[in-house]
Amino acid sequence: MCRVSVECVTDVTHSAHWGVFNARREDGRWRVRPHAGDPDPSPVLDNIPDALDHPARVAAPAVRRSWWENGPGPDDRRGTDEYVEVGWDEVLDRLAGELSRVRTDHGDAAIYGGSYGWASAGRFHHAQGQLHRFLAVTGGYTQSVNTYSGGAAEVILPRILGGFDAVTRYSVSWDQVAAHTDTVLAFGGMALKNSTVASGGVSRHVERGAMRSARARGTRFVLVSPLRPDLPDDVDAQWLPIEPGTDVALMLALMHEVVAAGRHDREFLATHCAGWETLEPYLASRTPEWAAVITGIDAATIRELAARLGTGRTLVTCAQSLQRAEHGEQPVWGGMALAAVLGQIGLPGGGFCYGLGSLGHYGRPRNAVPVPTLKRTPNPVREYIPVARVADMLLHPGEPYDYNGERRTYPHVRLAYWIGGNPFHHHQDLNRLRRAVGRLDTFVVHEPFWTATARHADVVLPSTTTLEREDIGASGSDPLLVAMKPLSAPVGGSRDDYAIFTELAERLGHAREFTEGRTAREWLGHLYLRTQKALVDRGDPAPDFDDFWAAGELELPPGPDDGGVLARFRADPEGHRLPTPSGLIEIASSTIAGFGYDDCPGHPAWLEPVERPDARHPLWLVANQPSTRLHSQLDFGAHSRGAKRGGREVLRMHPDDAAARGITDGDVVRMANDRGAALATARVTDEIRAGVVQLPTGAWWDPEPDGTCRHGNPNVVTRDAGSSKLAQGCTGQLCAVQLERFDGDPPPVRAHVPPPVTGPRRDGTA
């Protein structure tokens, strides 16, 4: 049956972070086909058809019983309490009152709107954009800075190389790799499972094609990673299965060898870099033999690799994963320093490219015109935290912490408002996060689905999915502007985030500032004007909004693929100074040295991690991005579900580690450390380094009463600590665990079964 109320739509184009697609109604089901122009579409599209009517949808506003009956306040029952269903008007009245109470009694900074998360593609209904606007116009809020993705890199790169997007996204492109690069040294690889995803959407997945073209031209790929699939089979990569968390030691030894052979680019180091005199003496004892002990890569292999670097165009890449770890700043700095020593930064397809291959919006030229975006409303509150320190903030209000050269104090937050993110998937040490959320007076969540985050909220407002809305899909480096047409009217009792905030803003007396008098459709037309005007200014075809909407898509002109700021700096270091303190590439930084941080000294360095395998927890866990979905999104979808075994997430482990524990392929295993435990299904494979197990993120946390995850979410065991005092980035990628076979009857997985919701009203009306 077609759910659409106005007209029965059967064939529409829409966009997700993992691809543009056409959805067609066939035999009572939605079938999703990738955009015809996509050379390598993502199989993750297969998760979409289940989104509209999955039982895990939140049917109507739901409120935690104790909060509804007893009022706001700290409560450890969050995560285990019951829910009652209430009408929209009732719940919005109560919520508006609670927002006012917190502002009046505790100040505007007592509201946390950091609300990290990927939400959905679509420029107007972008969840965080809507929340920030709403909280800003109603008085302000404590916000978050940086991301879980690149928290350490985002802080250090501007100090040593330049603006994050400029030196990462818009420097080395896939076209340059295909045309120019002779050697790709990929730390953490460039897994096709990862570039399948691009923030804002992606109409063309070009990575596989570019790597194949390079390989066909003779490019040599070297993969430094504990996991073999981190580069595609097509490129015949040499695989160096490194001990996790030790890349900087390998980088230092490679530099040592290049210098020992006198092959370092002295001129480039003198004219374009600052700090060589500090790093050079440190390298003296960083021999291949020294690094072999740390990295598990033998000295002869390191020597052989060093000898080939710099012969021909050499590109050093560093996956985001390396810095999502303790001392995560170091491999970013080390990779950049290695490229500087080789002297190729700023050459086409050469030098250093942070993040290339980690996301689909990297390595593509910027569009020549801006895409529509909802501009950020200034936040009257100046308070912020580094995003991954959220549990610390809630558990330690008023206490000091270090960040990026400052001594800061955690604000005392009473109300957290989260939309478009799933912290009970993405944050580390989920049992600790549960304790932290227990300290809040009120936790508000808008979610289409009963995720673990929704199940910890006091107020759960059912939002539509993107499939139920009109929007514009676009990314700054994808050529297609997409008119995202709805597949359905809002499902059940759900409402758009924009509609919910409009109603709340009305109750708080700020509707006019929030809506600026526009309907959602009028906003789309308004946001589109900026792109249309830029096209007019260039003399390009510039359809008006109605024509764009009717056509369904618009191809935007590409900007130049010219290497950006790094190429200009290379050509003229005086005329195009980098925005670093010296204007040069900072191989060593006197600014960072001046902070006096023991966990982030003034040059790239090998630092022993606190978290590392020991006798009780002898295995490294790599908790990386899932290949079958975006994070936790649509975890119940056909593609994600289909790759699980026995309904549990799959954990990869080496045959030696399996044999030592009597584990065979397909067994249920229990992975644990002092922070928590999770069950998963073992896959035994020699495509992983011995001593390392891998469990991707995103399987919804399905806790037993003691917090053990029945489903396979790795964040029950990861460590909630910052990368260093410099960046305080997320360190979820790596931790130490023990693993055993789970004997007996494993408990059934209930992650996608909604919690019982009681109360009279089931139709979502007041």
Ligand X SMILES: Nc1nc2c(c(=O)[nH]1)N[C@H]1C(S)=C(S)[C@@H](COP(=O)(O)OP(=O)(O)OC[C@H]3O[C@@H](n4cnc5c(=O)[nH]c(N)nc54)[C@H](O)[C@@H]3O)O[C@H]1N2
State the residues that interact with ligand X by CB under 6 A: 117-120, 125, 127, 148-149, 187-189, 191, 193-194, 196-197, 224-227, 230, 242, 244-245, 247, 319-322, 324, 358-359, 419-422, 425-426, 446-449, 451, 463, 466, 497, 622-627, 630-633, 697, 714-715, 718, 730, 732-734
- For the bound state, the minimum distance from the C-beta of residue 195 to Mo ion, rounded and expressed in Å, comes to 13
Q: Which does 448 bind (CB under 5 to 8 A by kind): Mo ion, ligand X, none?
A: ligand X
- For the bound state, the minimum distance from the C-beta of residue 456 to Mo ion, rounded and expressed in Å, comes to 21
Nearer Cβ to Mo ion, position 130 or 697? 697
Contact 341, 252 (CB under 8 A): no
Q: Which does 689 bind (CB under 5 to 8 A by kind): ligand X, Mo ion, none?
A: none
Instruction: Write the DSSP string, 606-667.
Output: ----SS---SSS-EEEE----SSSSTTTTTTSHHHHHHSBTTB-EEEE-HHHHHHTT--TT-
Query: Residue type at 207?
Result: E
Q: Which does 621 bind (CB under 5 to 8 A by kind): ligand X, Mo ion, none?
A: none
Residue 528: other Cβ atoms inside 10 A: 25
Q: Which does 168 bind (CB under 5 to 8 A by kind): Mo ion, ligand X, none?
A: none
Query: Residue type at 468?
Result: E
Q: Which does 166 bind (CB under 5 to 8 A by kind): ligand X, Mo ion, none?
A: none
Nearer Cβ to Mo ion, position 341 or 630? 630
517 phi/psi in degrees, rounded to 5: 75, 10
Choice among 68, 118, 403, 450 that is catalytic: 118
Q: Which does 125 bind (CB under 5 to 8 A by kind): ligand X, Mo ion, none?
A: ligand X
Distance CA 289, CA 261 (A): 16
- For the bound state, the minimum distance from the C-beta of residue 266 to ligand X, rounded and expressed in Å, comes to 29
Residue 285: other Cβ atoms inside 10 A: 9
Instruction: Write the DSSP string, 539-572.
Output: T-----HHHHHHH-EEEPPB---S-HHHHHHHH-
- For the bound state, the minimum distance from the C-beta of residue 484 to ligand X, rounded and expressed in Å, comes to 12
- For the bound state, the minimum distance from the C-beta of residue 197 to ligand X, rounded and expressed in Å, comes to 4
Nearer Cβ to ligand X, position 319 or 491? 319
Nearer Cβ to Mo ion, position 120 or 138? 120
Distance CA 85, CA 88 (A): 10
- For the bound state, the minimum distance from the C-beta of residue 157 to Mo ion, rounded and expressed in Å, comes to 16
Nearer Cβ to ligand X, position 449 or 548? 449
Residue 383: other Cβ atoms inside 10 A: 20
HSE of 5 in the Cβ direction (CA atoms, 13 Å)? 6
Residue 684 DSSP label: E
Label residue 188 left, alpha or beta by phi (over 0 means left) and psi (-120 to 50 means alpha): left
Nearer Cβ to Mo ion, position 49 or 698? 698
- For the bound state, the minimum distance from the C-beta of residue 197 to Mo ion, rounded and expressed in Å, comes to 9
Distance CA 533, CA 544 (A): 10
Known active-site residue 116 = yes
- For the bound state, the minimum distance from the C-beta of residue 476 to Mo ion, rounded and expressed in Å, comes to 17
Query: Which position's Cβ is nearest ligand X?
Result: 732
Choice among 116, 148, 354, 523 that is catalytic: 116
Residue 26 DSSP label: E
- For the bound state, the minimum distance from the C-beta of residue 576 to ligand X, rounded and expressed in Å, comes to 29
Contact 712, 670 (CB under 8 A): no
Known active-site residue 18 = no
Alpha helix segments (H runs only) across 230-378: 247-260, 266-272, 276-283, 288-295, 299-308, 329-342
Nearer Cβ to ligand X, position 347 or 692? 692
Q: Which does 463 bind (CB under 5 to 8 A by kind): Mo ion, ligand X, none?
A: ligand X
Q: Residue 33 pairs with which residues in a beta bridge?
A: 22
Distance CA 327, CA 660 (A): 31
Nearer Cβ to ligand X, position 264 or 361? 361
Residues 6+ apart with CB under 8 A from 679: 648, 668, 669, 670, 671, 708, 709, 710, 711, 712, 742, 746, 747
Residues at the site binding Mo ion, with contacts judged by CB under 5 A: 149
Q: Which does 186 bind (CB under 5 to 8 A by kind): ligand X, Mo ion, none?
A: none
Q: Which does 644 bind (CB under 5 to 8 A by kind): ligand X, Mo ion, none?
A: none
Distance CA 500, CA 503 (A): 5
Distance CA 73, CA 458 (A): 10
Nearer Cβ to ligand X, position 196 or 589? 196
Residues with a known catalytic role: 116, 118
